[in-house]
Amino acid sequence: DSGVTQTPKHLITATGQRVTLRCSPRSGDLSVYWYQQSLDQGLQFLIQYYNGEERAKGNILERFSAQQFPDLHSELNLSSLELGDSALYFCASSGLLAGEYNEQFFGPGTRLTVL
Amino acid sequence: GENVEQHPSTLSVQEGDSAVIKCTYSDSASNYFPWYKQELGKRPQLIIDIRSNVGEKKDQRIAVTLNKTAKHFSLHITETQPEDSAVYFCAASIWVNTPLVFGKGTRLSVIA
């Protein structure tokens, strides 16, 4: 168990719908990252938040948005869903340990299926 | 931006043999190179990482080498065991707390 939690574990929805994926980082970690894993694109970085503020943006579609709340949990919102959005969505977190940044720990992922 | 190439895409070895996976990266600003293992349906888990100020790092049966001049790094697994069977991903980033760019993965099968 990495200490990063994600809900829900599975999500099945229809095209055109909107869903919200939730992530709670490891205790004390200020950085949250979202990654998408699909068969054709592999593991791709979407967006990073650090202590509530957006830190970096990757291959995130305009239909997708995210935020990090004061308690450091993060939500990834996916709207106007398309079949191609079906994928595993991972959240990862990292933080400081004894003055050094530790590696990114991944959550169990949310499997999104768009029908 | 950064681009990470990983080879081979699949690798089969006999139990007890060694396995080597190689990655190249494009951005000379990258300084952090982790390797993740992902079992079917599970999360990626870090198995070893190397930072640009060292050329080699070892942890029991696993070792990683880094050649910054040539922009490539490799994972070496010795005395492979069936439980080593999984998909292995290399990645590169500017630093530990910056976004990772992953290779496409290597499916390792260890045959008993």
By Cβ distance, the residue of A33, A44, A107 closest to B43 is A107
B45 contacts in chain A (CB < 8 Å): 2, 106
Q: What is the mean pLDDT of residues B50-71?
A: 93
- Tens of pLDDT along A30-56? 999 999 999 887 899 999 999 999 999
Q: B 63-82 residues with CB below 8 A of A?
A: none
Look up residue A91 and give its DSSP letter.
E
pLDDT, averaged across chain B:
96
pLDDT score recorded for residue A40: 80
β-bridge partners, A74: A23, A68
pLDDT score recorded for residue B64: 98
Q: What values do phi and psi take at A16, rounded to 5? A: 90, -10
Q: What is the mean pLDDT of residues B11-34?
A: 97
Most B CBs within 10 Å, among A103, A110, A111, to test the B interface: A103
Smallest Cα–Cα separation from B44: which of B91, B94, B77?
Answer: B91
- Tens of pLDDT along A55-112? 999 989 999 999 999 999 999 999 999 999 999 999 999 987 777 778 999 999 999 9
B96 contacts in chain A (CB < 8 Å): 94, 100-104
A100 contacts in chain B (CB < 8 Å): 96
β-bridge partners, A96: A101
CA A77 to chain centre: 9
Q: What is the mean pLDDT of residues B58-69?
A: 96
Between CA B62 and CA A57 the distance in angstroms is 32
How many residue pairs from chains A and B have C-beta atoms closer than 8 A? 52
Tokens of A82: 């398309």
Pairing of strands B72-77, B62-67: antiparallel
B97 contacts A101? CB cut-off 8 A: yes
Determine whether A58 is exposed, middle or buried from the number of CB atoms within 10 Å of its CB (0-12, 13-18, 19+).
middle
- Tens of pLDDT along B8-17? 999 999 999 9
pLDDT score recorded for residue B53: 79
B99 contacts in chain A (CB < 8 Å): 33, 45, 48, 56, 58
pLDDT score recorded for residue B54: 81
Q: Residue type for B49, please?
A: D
B97 contacts A43? CB cut-off 8 A: no
B100 contacts A45? CB cut-off 8 A: yes
SS3 label, residue B82: helix
pLDDT score recorded for residue A2: 81
